[in-house]
Chains A and B, each alone.
Chain A
Amino acid sequence: MLPSLAKQWRNAAVIGLRGQSLVPCASTRTFASAKSTEEETFDVEITTPFEGHKLDELPSQTVTTTKTEVLDFFRDLFRYRRMEIAADVLYKGKFIRGFCHLYDGQEAICVGMESAINYEDAIITSYRDHCTYLGRGGNMYEVIAELLGRKDGCSRGLGGSMHMYHRENNFYGGNGIVGAQVPLGVGIAFQQKYNKKDNCTFTMYGDGAANQGQGFEALNMAALWDLPVVYVCENNHFGMGTAEWRGSKQPAFYKRGDYVPGIKVDGMDVFAVKKAVAFAKEYAIKNGPLIMEMDTYRYHGHSMSDPGSTYRTRDEVSGIRNQRDPIERVRKLIQNMELATTAEIKAIEKAARKEVDDAIAKAKECPEPPEEWLTKNIYSAAPHGWESVRGVERGLAHET
């Protein structure tokens, strides 16, 4: 599928090489490569203009990057995509049960965000969280093991698809109820401001969740107290099966904050995301809340029980794939600028496939969590004084 997509590429981003720029690389990542050409900076133009709401200034349309960063983008985008497609196969093979929401199509948001922030910044998101977990420094084995409900999973196999967390790297999940995570992000941001940290919180939700009242309640508090929180609305245009215009009177989600400024970003362009998120972080720490709308698209249905074809046409989905796919966009840049040979790109893809395959093979070998974990972590060390949890299967009254 992918090579033909590359051929069909029509509306490629106008990616201009502006020669050697003096602008320092904005990436916060450090790279192991020693070769100077790997780290030489150059500029990339963002084709879709940012749109602002109550912002005096918008970020420029030019992003500075390096060869290493571009190849890292490609690698991560491709890894995330392969993992989600593998999850689809595992689900259909009944290895993953229950509820599973895939991120394919939206990968540029996670990848672009992480290139502009660090792990001291916090992220909290909804149930579409597999790739966010990887972006926060988690490994693929832990994701697959969690999906399979195995004890090496990132939540010990106790959470499943919707509940992935990474405490050390400030990833607060992984939340199952639509919109419920949004106010939590504001509370996390309070801690950052209170402790005078040079960091902010990204509280992520979809266009469907944008209509939940609690997000607005917390936004008012964030604005009252100038908390460093960025509301990131991943607008994939469908709240479950309902198109944004059917469910939202104001589908320009970056304007939804009214008194809170907003910015609209092409969420299928990893460079646009990187640029805008860097801007947002700086803005939020200095001024308080900001709403970002990431214009994106999910290729799969809402969850695995939704074929994703009843409320939109297959042509629409394939049209987005052909014209806006985040991976193909980066692939095109690599080819145009000759940042890597076809063989090198293939090697990256092969390594990603192997990573996914290895993770799956290992996860299938991993045991499920032991029975007695049923009653762990309900309370801290039994503050109620009960010695066991009531109602568990006879003979299995567990110590808490």
Chain B
Amino acid sequence: MLRRGNGVVGRGMVERMVSSMLCGGNATTTTCSRGFSAEVGEQQRARKINLFTAINDALNLSLEEDEKTLIFGEDVSFGGVFRCTSGLLEKHGSDRVFNTPLCEQGILGFAVGAAAMGYKPVVEIQFADYIFPAFDQIVNEAAKYRYRSGGMFSCGGLTIRTPCGAVGHGGHYHSQSPEAFFMHSPGLKVVMPSGPKDAKGLLLSSIRDDNPVVFFEPKIMYRTSVEEVPYGDFTVPLGKAAVVREGKDITLVGWGSQVGVLRQAAEEVEKNDGISCEVIDLRTILPWDVDTIAESVTKTGRLLVSHEAPLTAGVGAEIVSTISKECFLNLEAPPLRVCGADTPFPLVLEPFYLPRQSRVIAEIRNSLAF
């Protein structure tokens, strides 16, 4: 794990993490003279890794920085189905990285209790589709713990990681994107990254955040999405959306793997129609960044929100409603949603369910022609 920061000048933030990377994992040493910036990605040394490696990196850092971080879930000590927890047992021991039985409700209840005692459980629910047996513990216990005890208790250290989204052939129970269910639960934070760099930065922020966080990982991107990810400590703030492509004619909002679909659609319509799209990656679904989107829509006058989950009462409904109010006098066309169909997630008919690029492009053109 020895890394060298050749000639990189940073601001020396969060010394202990950086030093642990530089000095062979000794988290308490302060002898390293060169630190990396935690907020300016360009100045920090980076390496090209895929999304599951970025997640693994964040988990490893969290285990190193805080002995109260715990990792558990079904088969995590072997690395998990998607290899996100590979090697963590060997590095940090079975007291902190351990398998649970197959019992989602029990896992979450246990995690809420441990978090209330000051631990930072980072729980893996193997697929987002399996989160529903634990729904009661998340929505009734975790989300409301602080509120119902008048602030006496909380389970703020809790982070729930779970892979979501379509993979082309997952069928009914390995494809869903249930973020809207959790957006409807005050007390939770809900996060979904759209690439390896954000995955690392947002996960570290989620683990450190003093509120329970449901962290969705678009599983189709685990291996396919590769980008430069900074070494060492690196965080992306929660509640802050990112403008990933600037434009002037229409604002496209998405999160997770849908951001990639929107970016491609934006390229297409720019090339073929001369339409300039601004693409926003929401990153945090609850609390969501109204300001960034409102600012963009004020500029462009048009809004399109896209997500894989079904249309009705999806996250898009909340965004469109709020932005319609905030930007009412700036709107040039009705805000649009391009979403999954109001059907259970299908098997071989998946292509007809998904909000694909062609549908996004058609709706962009409709909006511009309004």
CB atoms of A159 and B170 under 8 A apart: no
Stretch at the interface among B15-23, B101-109, B253-261, B271-279: B101-109
CB atoms of A393 and B352 under 8 A apart: yes
Nearest residue, chain B, Cβ from A306: B81
Q: How many residues of A contact B (CB 8 A)?
A: 46
A170 within 8 A of B: no
CB atoms of A99 and B102 under 8 A apart: no
Residues of B in contact with A, size category: 35 or more
A385 within 8 A of B: no
Interface residue ranges of B305-361 to A (CB < 8 Å):
310-312, 339-344, 346-349, 352-353, 356, 359
CB atoms of A163 and B344 under 8 A apart: no
Q: Shortest CB–CB separation between residue B220 and chain A, in angstroms?
A: 13
CB atoms of B311 and A240 under 8 A apart: no
CB atoms of A390 and B171 under 8 A apart: no
Q: Mark contacts of B170-192 with chain A using CB atoms, 8 A cut-off: 1 yes-contact digit, 0 otherwise.
A: 11111000000000000000000
25 contacting pairs across A/B (C-beta < 8 A): A98-B171, A157-B348, A158-B348, A158-B349, A162-B172, A163-B171, A178-B102, A208-B101, A209-B102, A211-B101, A211-B102, A211-B103, A211-B106, A212-B103, A213-B105, A239-B101, A305-B81, A311-B78, A371-B352, A374-B343, A374-B346, A375-B341, A378-B343, A392-B341, A396-B352
Known contacts A160-B172, A374-B349, A389-B342; 18 further A-B pairs (Cβ under 8 A)? A98-B171, A99-B171, A158-B348, A160-B171, A176-B172, A177-B130, A179-B102, A179-B133, A208-B101, A211-B102, A211-B106, A239-B101, A247-B102, A371-B352, A375-B341, A389-B343, A391-B342, A393-B341
Instruction: List, in ascending order, chain B residues with CB within 8 A of A390's CB.
Output: 311-312, 341-342
Most buried by A among B130, B311, B341: B341
A99 to B348, CA, bound (A): 12
Instruction: List, in ascending order, chain A residues with CB within 8 A of B244's CB.
Output: none
Instruction: List, in ascending order, chain A residues with CB within 8 A of B130's CB.
Output: 177-178
B12 within 8 A of A: no
Most buried by A among B172, B346, B347: B347
CB-based closest 6 A-B pairs: A97-B169, A391-B311, A176-B173, A149-B348, A98-B169, A211-B101
B367 within 8 A of A: no
CB atoms of A368 and B99 under 8 A apart: no
B8 within 8 A of A: no
A248 within 8 A of B: yes
A208 to B107, CA, bound (A): 14
Instruction: List, in ascending order, chain B residues with CB within 8 A of A394's CB.
Output: 359, 362-363
Interface residue ranges of B52-73 to A (CB < 8 Å):
none
CB atoms of A371 and B349 under 8 A apart: yes
B168 within 8 A of A: yes
Q: Shortest CB–CB separation between residue B185 and chain A, in angstroms?
A: 21
CB atoms of B349 and A99 under 8 A apart: no
B268 within 8 A of A: no
A259 within 8 A of B: no
B74 within 8 A of A: yes
CB atoms of B342 and A213 under 8 A apart: no
Instruction: List, in ascending order, chain B residues with CB within 8 A of A368's CB.
Output: 348
Q: Mark contacts of B69-112 with chain A using CB atoms, 8 A cut-off: 1 yes-contact digit, 0 otherwise.
A: 00000110010010000000000000000011111011000000
CB atoms of A378 and B344 under 8 A apart: yes
Instruction: List, in ascending order, chain A residues with CB within 8 A of B74's CB.
Output: 240, 242
B209 within 8 A of A: no
CB atoms of A310 and B342 under 8 A apart: no
Which of B's residues lie within 8 Å of A, judged by CB?
A: 74-75, 78, 81, 99-103, 105-106, 129-130, 132-133, 167-174, 310-312, 339-344, 346-349, 352-353, 356, 359, 362-363
Contacts A99-B171, A162-B173 given; indicate if A391 touches B312 (C-beta within 8 A). Answer: yes
Most buried by A among B74, B132, B343: B343
Q: Shortest CB–CB separation between residue B364 and chain A, in angstroms?
A: 12
Which of A's residues lie within 8 Å of B, judged by CB?
A: 97-99, 149, 157-163, 176-180, 208-209, 211-214, 239-242, 246-248, 305, 310-311, 368-369, 371, 373-375, 378, 389-394, 396
Instruction: List, in ascending order, chain A residues with CB within 8 A of B311's CB.
Output: 390-391
A97 to B168, CA, bound (A): 8
Instruction: List, in ascending order, chain A residues with CB within 8 A of B346's CB.
Output: 158, 374
A375 to B345, CA, bound (A): 10
Nearest residue, chain A, Cβ from B353: A374
Contacts A180-B133, A393-B359 given; indicate if A157 touches B347 (C-beta within 8 A). Answer: yes
* Cβ 8 A contact of A392, one of B102, B132, B167, B353: B353
Contacts A160-B171, A389-B342 given; indicate if A98 touches B347 (C-beta within 8 A). Answer: yes
CB atoms of A310 and B172 under 8 A apart: no
A396 to B343, CA, bound (A): 13
Nearest residue, chain A, Cβ from B366: A394
Contacts A305-B81, A374-B353, A391-B312 given; indicate if A149 touches B347 (C-beta within 8 A). Answer: yes
Contacts A178-B102, A391-B312 given; indicate if A240 touches B75 (C-beta within 8 A). Answer: yes
Q: Shortest CB–CB separation between residue B108 and chain A, in angstroms?
A: 11
CB atoms of B99 and A247 under 8 A apart: yes
A180 to B353, CA, bound (A): 26
Instruction: List, in ascending order, chain A residues with CB within 8 A of B101's CB.
Output: 208, 211, 239, 242, 247-248
Instruction: List, in ascending order, chain B residues with CB within 8 A of A158's CB.
Output: 346-349
Instruction: List, in ascending order, chain B residues with CB within 8 A of A98's CB.
Output: 167, 169-171, 174, 347
Q: Shortest CB–CB separation between residue A79 and chain B, in angstroms?
A: 25
A247 to B347, CA, bound (A): 31
A157 to B359, CA, bound (A): 25
Instruction: List, in ascending order, chain B residues with CB within 8 A of A241's CB.
Output: 75, 78
Q: Shortest CB–CB separation between residue A378 and chain B, in angstroms?
A: 6
A163 to B174, CA, bound (A): 13
Instruction: List, in ascending order, chain B residues with CB within 8 A of A180's CB.
Output: 133
Instruction: List, in ascending order, chain A residues with CB within 8 A of B341's CB.
Output: 374-375, 389-393
Q: Shortest CB–CB separation between residue B281 and chain A, in angstroms?
A: 22
Instruction: List, in ascending order, chain B residues with CB within 8 A of A373's CB.
Output: 349
